[in-house]
Amino acid sequence: MTRSLLELFRPSSIALVGATDKSGWSLSTFQNLRDHQFAGKVYLVNPRTEVVHGETAHRSLTDIGEPVDLAFVMVPTTAVLSVLREGAGLGIRNYVVLTAGFGETGPAGKRLEDEIVAFAVEHGLTVLGPNGNGYINAAGRTTPYGLPIPAPLQSGPVGVVLQSGALASSVLSFAQARNVGLSLLTSMGNEAMVSVTDVMSYLVDDPDTKVIALFLESVRHPAEFARVCLRAARAGKPVVALKIGTSALASHTAQAHTGALVGDDRVIDAAFRRFGVVRVHSLEDLIITAGLLASVGRVDGRRLGVVTPSGGASEIIADRAEQEGLELPAFAPSTVERLAAIVPDFATVQNPLDVTGYVVVDRTLLGRALEVVAQDPGIDAVLLLNDLPRVAPADPSVTLQIAGATAERIRRSRVPVVVVSNVLADITEFGRYVQAQTGFPHVAGGIEHGMTAIGNVVRWSEAVRQVRDVAPAAEPAPAGPGEVWAEHRSARLLAGHGIPVVPAELAADEAEAVAAAERFGYPVVLKAAAEGLGHKSDIGGVRLGLTGPDEVRAAHREVVAALRAHGHADAATLVQPQRRGGVELLVGVVRDPAWGLTMAIGLGGVWVEVLRDTALRLLPVTPEDVRAALAELRGYGLLTGARGAEPADLGRLSEVIARIGEVAVELGPRLSALEVNPLLVAGSRVEALDALVTWA
């Protein structure tokens, strides 16, 4: 597909089929091609009018009589297929279909769309759309796009792919306002043939693109999406995505707590993290983060040095840095000494650094302070608060000189320097001029969005180092369709795969229950045991803290009676030693229909549904992945020894949880859910106290 998209996005000639003065779409597309210097020929096709947009029109594609690389189709819905038939006979291989009225309208429209795709596949055609605005190849000055493109069209390193035609122009306008140049912007329409992942794959190979920015309503091809994102990560090209919409997890299983805790949107978060995708939550952050990544690339650490001309801004940045998980370490003594010799006596040398309003007197002050901070050995990157000039002074030479000197310091810096403006405002024509003349770097828009972008850059830099391919699943364990393995069977399965499990014995009668309790020593726990039984507590099937034979006998009778009352003829009980102390966790795995096995880690036992404090990861995971997930929990302090409690052995705990993930993968594609709840950790002792396995 990449080769065919190269032809689609870089045509030497374009025919506008259905061109008419009555259509704003037609006029805009023609005007865009003319105003933005498309170098090839443009043909207008209209069978009823000899002149369109002031140019001679052709009655048909055949009437052109010359080769055409791309047909931009604007004819009525029912006429689109006939255009493709005529074009295919003439050797035209590439089509953008602006026309709406297809799959987005219902079954009848979907049938027409399917006919177009079938014909295109049969004849080796490439079709973008239908129901899409087209694309803007700014790098190649090719703009078959149905809405006005304001000048100047800034070409640059960010490729944008949108599942929204209406928002495409807004994204374009905002990118131009912030001087973020685009390589390619594509409005996907219905994705009947060419998909988001196809265009992403093209951009991974495109030398003009450094960063891929996505607006997604849905991820229609998850496996393809994962492969392309992994390829982008290996190529060092960040993928930034604004994914909208939330829904309940389609694979929710009533047999496991985990299904209720894992929502589709949280799985998207986990999937994006797994494949190195930066997720943002606004159009502004989509463009600002993409622009900064294109300018700065990787930042290898969270330690940020800050240089500003404002005390108030320094305080805002300090607050936002904490929210983004960034560190503002104290400057090294040598840095403090050098800065004290530069800044005014009334300034305080600290990180963040306010060089004060003295920059109005000494316009070199900010740049000289930046140079010193960038050399601090404890800093991974520098934030420089610096607005581009908005209005040209009578003599711009001093402005250009100062900006040029700062730009040179930034180029020479041993660590990345991120320039952020005070507020989010358009970059003016003079600001663009200063950047063009001096090589001044990209300026992230406003402290709020700029700090978000820096956090995103740091998170991407960490994630891309950990991106791994997904291992294939092993053969499944034998199980009947839809079968639920109760605790005793699930525990045996886990123990056989190297998971530490609390000792337990099945008891068919009171005597066996008492004998098991005597062997374990009191107190003990007695639980309901029957094939297909999910949550034992729902039927009163758990008895805790039993301290003698009489209590065990009574508990056995009551639990067996409850089982039989709920239709379990194979009623038995499970006896275990009572465990005390420690922290109870839930470790659950469910199979998401789009992304596959997804693990939830959180506080377990009775708290799981009350606190809903979980971290999600797509499988497989490493112990390092698990350690990071545990640190995300609000209840993490319980594991680190809060209020004098014994701290958990996080290394051992992470290894056990990672092994549970491995077991889930090894059980193969028929596994629907696997849950350990609770997984008890007390110091270095880690033990599964209950387990449940559900098969698809």
Query: Is 307 in the same domain as 394?
Result: yes
Query: Is 178 in the same domain as 45?
Result: yes
Query: Is 131 in the same domain as 192?
Result: yes
* Cβ atoms of residues 131 and 18 within 8 Å: no
Task: State the greatest distance between any 2 C-alpha atoms of the chain, in Å, as a whole number.
Answer: 101
At residue 251, does pLDDT exceed 70?
no
Query: Is 437 in the same domain as 509?
Result: no
pLDDT (tens digit, 9 = 90+) per residue, 400-446? 999 999 999 999 999 999 999 999 999 999 999 999 999 999 999 99
DSSP 66: S
Q: What is residue 459's predicted lDDT score, i.e. its pLDDT?
A: 96
Q: Is residue 74 part of a domain?
A: yes
| Cα–Cα distance, 667 to 513 (Å, whole number) | 32
| Of residues 329 and 256, more confidently modeled | 329
Query: Is 70 in the same domain as 191?
Result: yes
Q: What is residue 419's predicted lDDT score, i.e. its pLDDT?
A: 97
Strands (E), 13-165: 13-17, 41-45, 51-52, 55-58, 70-73, 94-97, 126-128, 134-136, 155-162
Give how far the C-alpha of residue 658 lies from the chain's centroid of Cα atoms, to the nearest Å.
22
Q: What is residue 610's predicted lDDT score, i.e. its pLDDT?
A: 65
At residue 127, does pLDDT exceed 60?
yes
- Paired with 306 in beta bridges are 383
Three-class DSSP category at 413: coil
- Could you tell me the pTM of the whole model? 0.85
Q: What is residue 2's predicted lDDT score, i.e. its pLDDT?
A: 66
At residue 476, does pLDDT exceed 60?
no
62-76: average pLDDT = 97
Query: Is 531 in the same domain as 589?
Result: no
| Of residues 304 and 2, more confidently modeled | 304
At residue 250, does pLDDT exceed 50?
no
Query: Is 569 in the same domain as 420?
Result: no
Query: Is 440 in the same domain as 329?
Result: yes
Specify the length of the chain in residues. Answer: 696
Q: Are strands 353-354 and 304-308 parallel, antiparallel or unpaired?
A: parallel
| Of residues 22 and 593, more confidently modeled | 22
Q: What is residue 519's predicted lDDT score, i.e. its pLDDT?
A: 94
Q: Is residue 273 part of a domain?
A: no
* Cβ atoms of residues 275 and 555 within 8 Å: no
- CATH number, domain at 534? 3.30.1490.20
Mean pLDDT of the chain: 91
Question: What is the number of helices (H) and of strands (E) in the chain?
Answer: 23, 29
Q: Where residue 607 falls among pLDDT bands split at 50, 70, 90?
A: low
Please name the residue that has the structure tokens 């077991």. 663
Most confident of 215-219, 511-515, 676-680: 511-515
Q: Which residues of 605-638 are buried (b: 16+ CB within 10 A; e: fewer)?
A: bebbeeeebbbbbbbbbbbebbbbbbeebeebeb
How many Cα atoms are found within 13 Å in the side-chain-facing hemisphere of 455?
Answer: 21
Q: Is residue 496 part of a domain?
A: no
Q: Where residue 249 falls among pLDDT bands split at 50, 70, 90?
A: very low
Q: Is residue 431 part of a domain?
A: yes
Q: What is residue 608's predicted lDDT score, i.e. its pLDDT?
A: 61
Angle formed by the axes of helices 510-520 and 549-565, nearest 10°: 130
Q: Where residue 257 falls among pLDDT bands split at 50, 70, 90?
A: very low
- CATH number, domain at 316? 3.40.50.261
Strands (E), 471-595: 484-485, 505-507, 524-529, 542-546, 572-577, 583-592
Q: How many domains is the chain partitioned into structurally?
A: 4
Three-class DSSP category at 144: coil
* Range with lowest mean pLDDT among 276-280, 425-429, 484-488, 594-598: 484-488
Three-class DSSP category at 675: strand
597-620: average pLDDT = 82
Q: Is residue 282 part of a domain?
A: no
Q: What angle do CA 206, 209, 215 make, to 5 degrees?
A: 110
- CATH number, domain at 58? 3.40.50.720
Q: What is residue 531's predicted lDDT score, i.e. its pLDDT?
A: 79
At residue 261, does pLDDT exceed 70?
no
Q: What angle do CA 640, 645, 647 make, to 5 degrees?
A: 35
Query: Is 451 in the same domain as 408?
Result: yes
| Of residues 81 and 537, more confidently modeled | 81
- Burial (0-12, 13-18, 19+ Cβ within 10 Å), 332: middle
* Cβ atoms of residues 214 and 200 within 8 Å: yes
Domain's final residue, options 538, 558, 577: 577
At residue 262, does pLDDT exceed 60?
no
Query: Is 595 in the same domain as 659?
Result: yes
Q: What is residue 605's predicted lDDT score, i.e. its pLDDT?
A: 60
Q: What is residue 242's predicted lDDT score, i.e. its pLDDT?
A: 96
Q: Are strands 443-444 and 417-420 parallel, antiparallel or unpaired?
A: parallel
618-630: average pLDDT = 95
Q: Is residue 603 part of a domain?
A: yes
At residue 555, does pLDDT exceed 70?
yes
DSSP 498: T
* Range with lowest mean pLDDT among 255-264, 523-532, 589-598, 686-695: 255-264
Q: Where residue 246 falls among pLDDT bands split at 50, 70, 90?
A: low
* Cβ atoms of residues 604 and 584 within 8 Å: yes
pLDDT (tens digit, 9 = 90+) per residue, 78-95? 999 999 999 999 999 999
Most confident of 470-479, 610-619, 655-664: 655-664
307-315: average pLDDT = 95
- CATH number, domain at 676? 3.30.470.20
Domain's final residue, options 528, 546, 577: 577
Please name the residue that has the structure tokens 């320097």. 417
Q: Is residue 97 part of a domain?
A: yes
Q: Is residue 481 part of a domain?
A: no
Query: Is 564 in the same domain as 652?
Result: no
pLDDT (tens digit, 9 = 90+) per residue, 436-473? 999 999 999 999 999 999 999 999 999 888 776 554 43
Q: Where residue 696 falls among pLDDT bands split at 50, 70, 90?
A: confident
pLDDT (tens digit, 9 = 90+) per residue, 356-405? 988 888 999 999 999 999 999 999 999 999 999 999 999 999 999 999 99
Q: Which residues of 651-673 are buried (b: 16+ CB within 10 A; e: fewer)?
A: ebbbebbbbbbbbbbbbbebbbb
Q: What is residue 465's predicted lDDT score, i.e. its pLDDT?
A: 83
Domain's final residue, options 552, 577, 602: 577
Q: What is residue 471's predicted lDDT score, i.e. its pLDDT?
A: 44
| Cα–Cα distance, 317 to 186 (Å, whole number) | 35
| Cα–Cα distance, 299 to 233 (Å, whole number) | 15
Q: Where residue 536 falls among pLDDT bands split at 50, 70, 90?
A: confident
Query: Is 455 in the same domain as 432?
Result: yes
At residue 254, does pLDDT exceed 50?
no
Q: What is residue 603's predicted lDDT score, i.e. its pLDDT?
A: 87
The whole domain housing 598 covers 583-695
